[in-house]
Amino acid sequence: MHGPVLRFRALGPGDQQLLWDLLHVALWDPPPSPLRPRAILAHPDVRIYAEEWGRHRGDVGVVAMVGRGATPAGGAWMRLVPGGKGLAFVDDETPQLGIAMLPPYQHKGHGEPLLRAAMDVARAYGHRRISLTVHPENPAVRLYERCGFRKVELRRSYHLMLATL
C-alpha cells in the first residue's frame, strides 16, 4: 500500500455532504470522460443512494480517514432500496453498495481495505449479501472480485455483482 495508513469510522447522518461528494465520484465513466455534472445527484435514480443517510433501515457505511486529523479520503456505503429500485437491486434484503475514494487518494491501494471494512460492518449489522453494479471497463472490477464479489449478469451494460458475507 502506498501513502498514509487509513483509519475507519462509521458513516453517519452528519456525513450527508461527504456522502454526496462520494456518490458524485462513484458515478464512474471510462476515460477520458470527466466526472458527470453534479446536477446528476438530483436525479431520482441517483438520489436514492444517499438522501437522508442514516435514517433508513439497513443504512451501513464507513469513512476512510487519513493522517492525524479528520481528513476523509473516501467511503463505502450500502442501502436497502426496496421495491425493485436501483440498478443493483436484487431483493428487498440485499443492500446496494457504493464506494469511492476522493481524487487525491485514488490509485494508492486504499480501495481494498475500505471495501473490506465496509463488508465487515455490513456483516456485523446482519446483512447476508451485498450487490453492486460496475462499468465493465472500470479497473475496480478486479478489486471487487478479490473481495468475493461475483458477476451475476449484465444490466444496461453494467456488471451486476454479488458478494455473500
Give the pLDDT score at 1: 44
Cβ proximity of 70 and 103 under 8 Å: no
**Closest by CA position to 96, among listed 67, 69, 66, 56:** 56
Per the prediction, the chain carries an average pLDDT of: 94
Question: How much of the chain is helix, strand and coil, in % rounded to 5?
Answer: 30, 30, 45
- Which residues lie across from 133 on neighbouring strands? 160
Which H or E run contains 18?
Answer: helix 16-26
CATH number for the domain spanning 110: value is 3.40.630.30
Percent above pLDDT 90 for the chain:
88
At 4, is the pLDDT very low, low, confident or very high (cuts 50, 70, 90)?
low
Residue 2 has pLDDT above 90, yes or no: no
Q: In total, how many domains does the chain have?
A: 1
Whether 11 is in a domain gets the answer yes
What's the rounded mean pLDDT across residues 32-50?
Answer: 95
Give the pLDDT band (50/70/90) at residue 6.
confident
What domain range is 109 assigned to? 6-86+98-127
CA–CA–CA angle 38, 44, 48 (5° rounding): 95
Confidence of residue 67 (pLDDT cuts 50, 70, 90): confident
Please state the φ and ψ torsions of residue 152, each to the nearest 5 degrees: -110, -45
